[in-house]
Structure 1
Amino acid sequence: MASSVAAACERNPFEFETSLKDLANSSNLKAVPSKFNFINQPTALTSDALPIIDFSALTADDTDRRSKAIHDLSKACQEWGFFILVNHGIPEELMNATFTATREFFSLPAAEKKQYEAKTASDPIKCGNFNVANTSNQVFTLWRDYLKLYVHPEFHCPHKPQLLREVLLEYSERCRKLARTLVEAVSDALELERNCVDEALKLDSSFQMFAANFYPPCPEPDQAIGIPPHTDPGLFTFLIHNGVAGLQIEHNGHWFNANSPRNAILVNAADQLEIFTNGRCKSVKHRAVVNNEKERISIVVANGPSGEAVVGPTSSLLRKDGRPFYRSMKYVEYVESQLTKSRVDGKSLLEQQMI
């Protein structure tokens, strides 16, 4: 594994470089170029214990069925921090169309994509590669092309392809509704008053980010990485992929492959949910590894509180715990700080918030 903490990048982390997609398609690429070098061990354990949550049970009229689903969700957030969401109601056609639109974007000419090169972390549209600097001031590039968009409370999207704007409006809205129901279910499990939760997190103006990640086949998977170990800002993060696995999660000191069935959504509790619940829900480290056979596309929607919400442990849980275990921080500042300070095997922003 590369040397420890990666602090603020020595150069712009959003600097646009040659498309990784074009580089990987080069017929003479036999080894990982030095700028991508990140020595790692991509193998992980396989487990069939990752919780499965039936979303339809969370919204069922049957009180017993709903109560069990809420209990199972709360347990999953506390023990694993990850779960597989099934029967979520998002049409398969919409999910497939989102992948189609994403592929079209990554296939645009480099000149088209370069106009979305970000200058700051707060730019609402950004694409390209991402550079990470470690404590030895060595900079390496992730084996990933990405597109990141702020889609709520204001919607931002590239002009091309047109299909992306069409499908993303609906997909992001459906994800927001799912996320809100999950937050309400966790609140019910912890016996929190919903009006207090809404007031604290300001969910009507929730900050939502869409990310599409393209990982081409890598000639040396142990010499590069898609995304290093990290946790996510927000409340719940949703991930779907094109059928090629690559996400790994840390559980009880071991790395596990997080495989999810087709049309299911892989969901993880994020940093602000851990902070808001004063540590009851766990935001766990996860990473994206690469392979040498197939291209992988993942579509991620990060669902957070309002950017203006100052998130700290909720008062009703503080009365039970006697003290806060986390500091409070404005959510938009948390997001921007995490985007500009990438870390590898070091103290994460979430860990810095711990008291």
Structure 2
Amino acid sequence: MNELLQTLIQSPSLIFSLLTSGHPDQRSKFIQELGKACQEWGFFILVNHGIPENDMKAMFEAATEFFNMPAEEKQQYEPKNVSDPIKCGNFNVKDTSNHTFTLWRDYLKLYVHPEFHCPLKPDILREALLIYSERTRKLARALLEAISETLELEKGYMEETLNLESLFQLFAANLYPPCPEPDRAIGIPPHTDHGLLTFLIHNGVAGLQIQHNGNWFNVNSPQNSILVNTADQLEIFSNGRCKSVKHRAVLNNEKTRISIVVANGPSPDAIVGPAQPLVARDGRASYLPMKYTEYIEKQLTKSQVNGKPLLEQMMIQDEK
């Protein structure tokens, strides 16, 4: 990898309990820092978030049990369609733009809200996932309400416009075994996420990198914290104020890395475009609207126009 790689020493870190403390000054500080993180970085590390450590551990235990199941039991969940609500797979070779690279990971992806989907085995997965998805959903809605406040929108505007009662939630567990040649493979190539906010926790083994001002940075969130990154629909809804951060997963040759990801998006039926109060404030919309399920489908099929990712295709160019 030829890009300049640096260690991000001062990742934006937010204390969620300040938002719910009942002290106006502390809440105001959190709102201010949240707005800055979303607009300048596109990610932040969230601590004191209220999700019990045992619930997070239960997800790692359940994911590990799933990955350890015999291959023939997992085969039934191999994807037949990109939009299958339950799918799993393993590392394979990809070829894009005449560049061949190896994706070195096992994964399990599940649609868990507004409809809940889960494999029958392992037995511990269903209960752990029901609890964790409900807790992260509540956290996501609280953060999105706070982000709406940073955008100076009326209370409840985002909730109602995007129908967050029925927000779409995707769960993913990723297993990255030690790779004998980590410089010749990658866990997940550079990409942005399609939703509003994505939550990530890991088993103590670092491997996430984010792009900031054209450079790649290592991000190592502390144990029991949640790394939150803003995604495409939030950039569109905020008319470009919040940045959908590009990120990737890299490998090592010593330790197995497991990440648990929950992507939180609008209601599947929501048509997402820039918020009208922000368009009025800016004098123009910077993005085209699109139904969220259509956006997911297009991103999953990796449809590009002239090499542009979907988010860039949605941008409305300035008239000259």
The answer to whether TM tops 0.5 is yes
Of the three residues 127, 134, 140, the one matched with 2:96 is: 134
Kept in 2: contact 1:233–1:334 (CA 8 A): yes
1:298 and 2:224 matched: no
Kept in 1: contact 2:145–2:159 (CA 8 A): no
Kept in 2: contact 1:203–1:305 (CA 8 A): yes
Q: Deviations over 1:130-159 (max 9, x none)?
A: 6644133x6654111100000000100000
* Separation in structure 2 between the aligned mates of residue 205 and residue 174 of structure 1, nearest angstrom: 15
* Separation in structure 2 between the aligned mates of residue 242 and residue 151 of structure 1, nearest angstrom: 22
Kept in 2: contact 1:42–1:289 (CA 8 A): no
Letter in 1 for 2:51: I
* SS of aligned partner of 1:181: helix
Of the three residues 251, 260, 274, the one matched with 2:235 is: 274
* SS of aligned partner of 1:299: strand
Runs of 4+ with >3 A deviation: 40-43, 130-133, 138-141
TM (norm. structure 1) is 0.85
* SS of aligned partner of 1:305: coil
Q: Which residue of 1 aligns with 2:121?
A: 160
Q: Which residue of 2 aligns with 1:247?
A: 208
CA drift at 1:338: 1.2
Alignment of 1:1-355 (within 5 A): 40-41=1-2, 44-129=5-90, 132-136=94-98, 140-341=101-302, 346-355=307-316
Letter in 2 for 1:48: I
Kept in 1: contact 2:3–2:215 (CA 8 A): no
TM (norm. structure 2) is 0.95
* SS of aligned partner of 2:265: strand
Gaps in structure 2 of 5+ consecutive residues: none
CA drift at 1:188: 0.9
CA drift at 1:43: 7.6
**Cα distance change on mapping 1:41 and 1:107 into 2, 3 Å:** farther
Kept in 2: contact 1:311–1:329 (CA 8 A): yes
Q: Deviations over 1:68-121 (max 9, x none)?
A: 100100000001101000000111111111101000000000000000011111
Q: Which residue of 2 aligns with 1:35?
A: none
Kept in 1: contact 2:78–2:89 (CA 8 A): yes
Letter in 1 for 2:112: V
Letter in 1 for 2:57: N
Gaps in structure 1 of 5+ consecutive residues: 1-39
* Separation in structure 2 between the aligned mates of residue 336 and residue 166 of structure 1, nearest angstrom: 29
**Cα distance change on mapping 1:342 and 1:126 into 2, 3 Å:** farther
Kept in 1: contact 2:239–2:286 (CA 8 A): yes
**Cα distance change on mapping 1:342 and 1:57 into 2, 3 Å:** farther
Q: Deviations over 1:162-213 (max 9, x none)?
A: 1111100000010011110111001111111133212211100000000000
CA drift at 1:349: 1.2
Kept in 2: contact 1:247–1:258 (CA 8 A): yes
* Separation in structure 2 between the aligned mates of residue 342 and residue 41 of structure 1, nearest angstrom: 26
Question: What is the RMSD computed on CA atoms of the aligned residues?
Answer: 1.7
Kept in 1: contact 2:31–2:150 (CA 8 A): yes
* SS of aligned partner of 2:83: coil
* Separation in structure 2 between the aligned mates of residue 308 and residue 121 of structure 1, nearest angstrom: 18
Kept in 2: contact 1:44–1:248 (CA 8 A): no
* Separation in structure 1 between the aligned mates of residue 55 and residue 5 of structure 2, nearest angstrom: 31
Kept in 2: contact 1:57–1:66 (CA 8 A): yes
Aligned length: 314
CA drift at 1:283: 0.6
Q: Which residue of 2 aligns with 1:8?
A: none
**Cα distance change on mapping 1:116 and 1:187 into 2, 3 Å:** same
CA drift at 1:245: 0.3
**Cα distance change on mapping 1:342 and 1:144 into 2, 3 Å:** farther
* Separation in structure 2 between the aligned mates of residue 111 and residue 301 of structure 1, nearest angstrom: 26
CA drift at 1:339: 1.5
* Separation in structure 1 between the aligned mates of residue 4 and residue 134 of structure 2, nearest angstrom: 35
* Separation in structure 1 between the aligned mates of residue 120 and residue 161 of structure 2, nearest angstrom: 35
